[in-house]
């Protein structure tokens, strides 16, 4: 017993009666009221629920059906929610017809550089500003980010341009300060299975952008999303950013087949990051177009005014004029699949 489908006639009293019964068995719930039906998602070890107990729920007033979800990810599954989840961030919807583009530098370097980039990407049509204040780097000697100072620079850029900001969290201890500034909190690839961190952001009200791990399967990725959702935060989006394979021609292998696969398995929005996926500036544009054709709900693209001097990922960062050209080229691709940029 993983989801309980309620009839249109179900009253609030009926719903509360069912919730009370489930609580008595040590189970928690997630109530999803969609346009077509209302569903109670049952959270916890439902294998301990006996057939007799399940039948008693099935017979309760207002219950239309009781369904077992066979997949290990329950709340993220299409079985739990048929409609696509649409996440509203300061009035910008992710998961709808429009495909928002998140653009900006890999790392926040200074207020002046960040503001300059923000103004340029907004002029080209970007709807979000991305930038890392805390940077997970392979080498401990590489630039680690500006920390809270970087968050303040992001907030200043938002104030000047109106662009909501996306930034990464690495440590649960930073959640409060990052939540104070960020509009979307990113979980990076290296932290996809940092379960303590996932549970912490699951208790937050901020939308979460969950990047795929370096060598993670789609199932493992969705189970990480489930960790977040099990704590009550349903505003999760999944970001394909390339996986590690034997191929060395690109930084990673951008798995665009994951996009339609995810569309079948989950109702969560799917974002594609071609910059990290390929790691080469001249390959970003074709993969961004391909991502839209595959069904991506949003794109994340790295842009820098002077990539040669960027403190992080300059090789894969587009120059503002290249980003402007790409944004124009994306529009007919989006229109071809019934979407818009």
Domain end marker among 16, 32, 67: 67
- 20 shares its domain with 167: no
Question: Could you tell me if residue 78 is inside a domain?
Answer: no
What is the C-alpha to C-alpha distance for residues 208 and 87, in angstroms, rounded to an integer?
10
Same domain assignment for residues 100 and 161: yes
Does the residue 238 lie in any domain?
Answer: yes
The pairing of strands 63-67 and 38-43 is unpaired
Give the model confidence (pLDDT) of 242-272 as tens digits.
999 999 999 999 999 999 999 999 999 999 9
**Within a domain: 82:** no
Q: Could you tell me if 284 and 326 are in contact, meaning their C-beta atoms sit under 8 angstroms apart?
A: yes
pLDDT at 143 over 80: no
CATH number of the domain bearing residue 29: 3.30.70.1140
Task: Give domain status of residue 311, yes or no.
Answer: yes
> Are 55 and 102 in a shared domain?
no
What is the DSSP code string of 191-259? GTT-HHHHHHHHTSSS-EEEEPPTT--HHHHHHHHHHHHHTT---EEEEE--B--S--SSSSB--TTHH
**pLDDT for the residue 137:** 63
- Are 24 and 132 within one domain? no
- DSSP 8-state symbol, 25: T
Q: How far apart are CA 213 and CA 258, in angstroms?
A: 13
Task: In whole angstroms, give the CA distance from residue 266 to residue 75.
Answer: 9
202 shares a domain with 151: yes
User: Does residue 294 sit in the same domain as residue 154?
Assistant: yes
Query: For residue 137, what is the domain's CATH number?
Result: 3.20.20.70
Alpha carbon distance 12, 148 (integer Å) = 45
Model confidence at 140: pLDDT above 80: no
The answer to the question of residue 72 being in a domain is: no
| 47 and 92 together in one domain | no
SS3 of residue 169 by DSSP: strand
Residues 280 and 304 sit within 8 Å (Cβ to Cβ): no
Give the chain's mean pLDDT: 92
Element (DSSP H or E) covering residue 322: helix 320-336
**Whether 44 and 98 share a structural domain:** no
User: For the whole model, what pTM was predicted?
Assistant: 0.87
Would you list the DSSP string of 90-132? TTEEESSSB--EEEE-SB---HHHHHHHHHHHHHHT--EEE-B
**Is 45 in the same domain as 111?**
no
pLDDT digits (tens, 9 = 90+) for 188-237: 999 999 999 999 999 999 999 999 999 999 999 999 999 999 999 999 99
**Domain span including residue 40:** 3-67
155 and 240 together in one domain: yes
Asked, for residue 20, whether it belongs to a domain, the answer is yes
Q: How many domains does the chain have?
A: 2
Give residue 177's Cα distance to chain centre: 20
Backbone phi and psi for residue 120, each to the nearest 5 degrees, phi listed first: -70, -45
**157 and 56 in a common domain:** no
Tens of pLDDT, residues 11-53: 888 889 999 988 888 888 888 876 667 888 888 888 778 888 8
> Is residue 219, in this structure, part of any structural domain at all?
yes
């Amino acid at each position: 017993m993983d989801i309980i489908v309620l009839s249109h006639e179900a009253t609030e009293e009926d719903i509360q009666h069912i919730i009370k019964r489930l609580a008595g068995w040590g189970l928690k719930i997630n109530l999803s009221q969609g346009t077509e039906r209302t569903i109670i998602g049952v959270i916890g070890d439902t294998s301990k629920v006996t057939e007799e107990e399940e039948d008693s729920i099935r017979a309760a007033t207002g219950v239309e059906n009781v369904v077992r979800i066979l997949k290990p990810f329950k709340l993220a599954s299409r079985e739990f929610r048929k409609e696509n989840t649409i996440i509203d961030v300061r009035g910008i919807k992710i998961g709808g017809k429009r495909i928002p583009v998140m653009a900006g530098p890999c790392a926040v370097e200074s207020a002046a550089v960040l503001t300059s980039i923000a103004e340029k990407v907004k002029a080209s049509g970007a709807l979000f500003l991305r930038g890392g204040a805390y940077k997970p780097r392979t080498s401990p000697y590489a630039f680690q980010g500006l920390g809270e100072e970087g968050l303040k620079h992001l907030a200043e850029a938002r104030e000047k341009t109106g662009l909501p900001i996306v930034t990464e969290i690495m440590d649960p201890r930073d959640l409060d300060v990052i939540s104070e500034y960020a509009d979307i909190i990113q979980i990076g690839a290296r932290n996809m299975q940092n379960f303590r961190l996932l549970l912490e952001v699951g208790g937050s009200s901020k939308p979460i952008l969950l990047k795929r791990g370096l060598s993670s399967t789609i199932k493992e990725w969705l189970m990480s999303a489930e960790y977040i959702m099990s704590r009550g935060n349903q505003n999760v989006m999944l970001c394909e950013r390339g996986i590690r394979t034997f191929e060395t021609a690109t930084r990673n292998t951008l798995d665009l087949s994951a996009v339609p696969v995810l569309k079948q398995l989950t109702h969560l929005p799917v974002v594609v990051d071609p910059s990290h996926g390929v790691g080469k500036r001249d390959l970003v544009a074709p993969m961004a177009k391909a991502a839209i054709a595959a069904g991506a709900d949003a794109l994340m693209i790295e842009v820098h005014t002077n990539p040669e001097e960027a403190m992080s990922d300059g090789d894969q960062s587009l120059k503002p004029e290249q980003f402007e050209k790409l944004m124009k080229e994306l529009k007919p691709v989006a229109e071809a699949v019934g979407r818009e940029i």
